[in-house]
């Protein structure tokens, strides 16, 4: 058979296949952008069965020993996984390592393990029963606390369940999921994928991932994004329709899975794959280019930092500083509140790494979903949060009630300030009195440090505020008299303005940062800042979406802080537009009463 005959035979075969298997298109959540085409590798995992099993008092010790060996085995497995990280891209390591560390920490002298031992002893149940019950109880409490600032507690709940499942599998000797049979370039299809499974995926071998369950903000999605694997999660009906070995297309941009694709779909997908590869190269080159609009306006692009491990990614991203250091990380996963010395060392390390670029340190933003055990142990926060934590003792409110905690952190920041430019950011401010009170404490801490012989600059690092409540935005002109800079937190601003919990799936479609009310409040904040000539930046998720960049520029913003991986895309948007065009777009948008029209205007502007 010559080449032409072979081609014709191939297309006849393809047509025959198309006749018998028609294309199926399933919709899910776009978890990681990119398009993948490949043979389906279907993977399932039978759940580890645990039936409640009572033991005799005489067996408590033996059950304890079984638990110890399961802990040891689980730790070994996780350490092995951790050693595999070295082969992954640096960005992926930054995402996965802290997760594995969190698992490992939970397998140490943690609340989970303490609780399991107690259950074996006091309730006389088998080790697997105790693990399952304790993990579920802790996860349930954490999930119940999941509120305003996103899915933090839901994630922690998932982590506890995950560690529990691993222990149970090792206790019951149930087999783990394996990807060993996947061929090069395969598309992995599963009912659900745990974060630890995702960490096992080799991005050089697996082209794409689709699952029936899972959401966009879970750890699995974060890990898939870190690995750069085109992924769609939550595609209902996937497992019923898919056949191992058949071809599938995963479109992680629009969130579709195409099974048995037609020739047209295949050629479209191939074009998309090629265009993605070109795009990635172009974005890589952008790192070194200036962040400037076509008409010469310089726009500052900074990065948000949540874990010190992200620092190398920030350096790689081309960000010109840290616009939001969420200092909560310093207080998490530990038994005691960090001392002034410890905090000072951490801040100094970050400031030194940023080598002259400004670091904006937000003081502790303790809120409902951010469970910090050390604060509970120290009696700083109550063990049980209020019924409505988003409206309770959050952010600056807690710090003003707990001056020791606040003063220690301020002292640590001031001591680190000699290492480079720093700004101090107050979370959840709603009135001028809070800024005045915070400033009085700030000055007092500085005086005390000077008395201790610490050299501080005459003018202290700027003290600014998050504008993340409608109250703060509406009074921005008054707050600008007291604050030295504003950082707009669009995540909370959107939640409080629209009365929609940012972590709540049921009302997710109402969480709309393009709602006219949110845009007007952003506009008022910018005007308030301008009336007193103080800098204003935006550091919520809205800033990370390049589609929003022209609108935010048109509103007058010139400083953005986003997750490190969004910096090149936002820079691309900045470099592709003029301020005049952005302003024209924004004027039109501000006249709209419906965000659907705004979305259309943005889409038209983009093309």
Check binding of 489 to Mg ion (CB under 5 A): yes
Nearest approach in angstroms of CB 538 to ligand PEP is 8
Relative to beta strand 256-259, strand 24-27 is: antiparallel
Shortest distance in whole angstroms from residue 227 CB to ligand PEP: 24
Q: Residues with Cβ < 8 Å from 411, sequence gap 6 or more?
A: 340, 344, 445, 448, 449
Identify the residue whose tokens are 């609108």.
Answer: 551
Report the site for ligand PEP in 352-381 (rule: CB under 6 A). Answer: 365
- Residue 261 interacts with ligand PEP (CB under 6 A): yes or no: no
Query: In the bound complex, what is the minimum distance in angstroms from residue 489's beta carbon to Mg ion?
Result: 4
Of 129, 265, 490, 572, the one binding ligand PEP (CB under 6 A) is 490
Span near ligand PEP by CB under 6 A; candidates 7-15, 94-102, 154-162, 489-497: 489-497
Nearest to 351 by CA among 411, 294, 417: 417
66/257 Cα distance (integer angstroms): 43
Token pair 């009906």 is at which residue? 237
Binder among 159, 212, 434, 468 for ligand PEP (CB under 6 A) = 468
Q: Of the listed 475, 494, 539, 582, which one is catalytic?
A: 539
Residue 555 binding partner per list ligand PEP, Mg ion, none, with a CB distance cut-off of 5 to 8 Å that depends on partner kind: none
Which position among 272, 539, 564, 567 is part of the footprint of ligand PEP (CB under 6 A)?
539
325 touches 466 (CB < 8 A): no
Q: What character string, x for contact with ligand PEP (CB under 6 A) and - otherwise, covers 231-260?
A: ------------------------------
Q: How far is the CB of 361 from ligand PEP (least distance, A)?
A: 13
Catalytic, 494? Answer: no
Place of tokens 């109250």: 471
Size of interface with Mg ion, in residues (CB under 5 A): 3
SS3 label, residue 537: strand
> Which option in Mg ion, ligand PEP, none does residue 539 bind, with CB closer than 5 to 8 A by kind?
ligand PEP
| Residue 540 sits in the site that holds ligand PEP (CB under 6 A) | yes
Residue count of the chain, please give it.
607
d(CA 361, CA 356): 15
* Smaller CB separation from ligand PEP, 44 or 388: 388
155 lies in the binding site for ligand PEP (CB under 6 A): no
Q: Which residue's CB comes closest to Mg ion?
A: 492
Q: Which is nearer to Mg ion, 489 or 546 (CB)?
A: 489
Which strands make up the sheet holding 24-27, listed edge to edge?
A: 24-27, 256-259, 247-251, 35-43, 186-190, 206-211, 231-233, 29-32
Q: Is 91 in the site for Mg ion (CB under 5 A)?
A: no
Q: Does 91 bind ligand PEP (CB under 6 A)?
A: no
Residue of 188, 192, 176, 313 lying closest to 252 (CA atoms):
188
Cβ 530 to Mg ion shortest distance, Å = 23
Catalytic residue among 219, 475, 494, 582: 219
DSSP secondary structure letter of residue 308: G
CB of 537 to ligand PEP, least distance (A): 10
Minimum distance from CB of 106 to ligand PEP (Å)? 24
Map the footprint of Mg ion across residues 196-255, applying CB under 5 A.
Answer: none
For Mg ion, which is the closer residue by CB, 133 or 149?
Answer: 149
Which CB atom, from 212 or from 365, has the smaller least distance to ligand PEP?
365
Using only C-alpha atoms, what is the Rg of the chain?
A: 26
Burial class (CB within 10 angstroms; exposed 0-12, middle 13-18, buried 19+) of 454: middle
Q: Does 539 qualify as catalytic in the annotation? A: yes
| Beta bridge mates, 563 | none
Tell me the three state secondary structure of residue 581: helix
Backbone angles phi, psi at 473, to 5 degrees: -65, -40
Residue closer to ligand PEP, measured from CB, 350 or 419: 350
Alpha helices in 287-425 (DSSP H): 311-317, 340-353, 373-377, 395-401, 403-416
Pairing of strands 300-305, 322-326: parallel
Does position 489 interact with ligand PEP (CB under 6 A)? The reply is yes
Q: Which two tokens stand for residue 201?
A: 């995926």
User: What is the signed CA dihedral for 57, 63, 64, 67, rounded to 10 degrees?
Assistant: -160
Contacts of 278 (CB under 8 A, 6+ apart): none
468 sits near Mg ion (criterion: CB under 5 A)? yes
How are beta strands 256-259 and 247-251 bridged, if at all? antiparallel
Interface pick for Mg ion out of 492, 501, 512, 541 (rule CB under 5 A): 492
512 binds ligand PEP (CB under 6 A): no
To ligand PEP, the closest distance from the beta carbon of 578 in angstroms equals: 28
| Catalytic center residues | 219, 539
Using CB under 6 A as the criterion, which residues of the chain lie in contact with ligand PEP when the complex forms? Answer: 149, 324, 326, 365, 468, 489-492, 539-540
Using CB under 5 A as the criterion, which residues of the chain lie in contact with Mg ion when the complex forms? Answer: 468, 489, 492
């Amino acid at each position: 058979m010559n080449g032409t005959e072979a081609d014709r035979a191939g297309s006849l075969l393809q047509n025959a296949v198309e006749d018998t298997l028609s294309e199926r298109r399933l919709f899910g959540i776009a978890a990681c952008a990119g398009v993948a085409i490949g043979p389906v590798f279907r993977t399932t995992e039978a759940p580890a069965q645990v039936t409640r099993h009572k033991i005799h008092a005489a067996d408590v010790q033996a059950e304890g020993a079984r638990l110890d060996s399961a802990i040891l085995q689980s730790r070994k497995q996780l350490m092995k996984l951790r050693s595999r990280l070295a082969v992954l891209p640096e960005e992926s390591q930054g995402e996965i390592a802290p997760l594995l560390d969190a698992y490992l920490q939970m397998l140490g002298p943690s609340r989970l393990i303490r609780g399991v031992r107690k259950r074996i002893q006091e309730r006389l149940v088998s080790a697997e029963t105790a693990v399952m019950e304790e993990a579920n109880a802790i996860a349930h409490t954490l999930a119940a606390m999941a509120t305003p600032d996103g899915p933090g507690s839901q994630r922690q709940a998932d982590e506890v369940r995950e560690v529990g499942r691993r222990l149970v599998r090792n206790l019951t000797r149930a087999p783990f999921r394996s990807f060993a049979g996947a061929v090069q370039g395969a598309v992995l299809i599963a009912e659900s994928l745990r974060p630890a499974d995702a960490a096992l995926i080799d991005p050089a071998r697996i082209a794409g991932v689709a699952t029936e369950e899972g959401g966009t903000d879970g750890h699995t999605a974060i890990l898939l994004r870190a690995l750069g694997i085109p992924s769609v999660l939550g595609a209902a009906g996937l497992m019923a329709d898919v056949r191992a070995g058949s071809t599938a297309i995963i479109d992680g941009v629009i969130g579709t899975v195409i099974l048995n694709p037609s020739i047209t779909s295949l050629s479209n997908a191939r074009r998309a794959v090629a265009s993605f590869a070109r795009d990635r190269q172009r974005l890589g080159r952008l790192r070194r280019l200036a962040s400037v609009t076509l008409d010469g306006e310089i726009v500052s692009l900074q990065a948000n930092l949540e874990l010190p491990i992200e620092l190398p990614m920030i350096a790689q991203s081309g960000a010109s500083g840290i616009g939001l250091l969420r200092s909560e990380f310093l207080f998490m996963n530990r038994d005691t509140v960090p001392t002034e010395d410890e905090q000072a060392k951490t801040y100094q390390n970050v400031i030194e790494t940023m080598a002259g670029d400004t670091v904006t340190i937000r003081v502790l933003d303790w809120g409902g979903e951010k469970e910090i055990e050390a604060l509970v142990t120290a009696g700083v926060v109550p063990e049980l949060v209020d019924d409505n934590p988003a409206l309770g003792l959050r952010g600056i409110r807690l710090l003003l009630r707990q001056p020791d905690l606040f003063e220690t952190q301020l002292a640590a920041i001031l001591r680190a300030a000699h290492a480079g430019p720093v700004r101090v950011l107050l979370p959840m401010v709603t009135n001028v009195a809070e800024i005045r009170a915070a400033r009085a404490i700030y000055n007092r801490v500085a005086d005390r440090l000077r008395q201790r012989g610490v050299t501080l600059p005459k003018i202290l690092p700027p003290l600014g505020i998050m504008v993340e409540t409608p109250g703060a935005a509406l009074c921005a002109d008054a707050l600008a008299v007291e604050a030295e800079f504003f950082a707009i937190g669009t995540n909370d601003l959107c939640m409080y303005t629209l009365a929609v919990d940012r972590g709540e799936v049921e009302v997710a479609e109402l969480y709309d940062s393009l709602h006219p009310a949110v845009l007007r409040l952003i506009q008022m904040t910018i005007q308030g800042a301008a009336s007193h000539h103080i800098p204003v930046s935006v550091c919520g998720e809205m800033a990370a979406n390049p589609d929003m960049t022209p609108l935010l520029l048109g509103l007058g913003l010139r400083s953005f802080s986003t997750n490190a991986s969004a910096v090149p895309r936002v820079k691309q948007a900045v470099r592709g537009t003029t301020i005049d065009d952005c302003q024209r777009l924004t004027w039109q948008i501000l006249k709209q009463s419906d965000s659907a029209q705004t979305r259309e205007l943005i889409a038209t502007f983009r093309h």
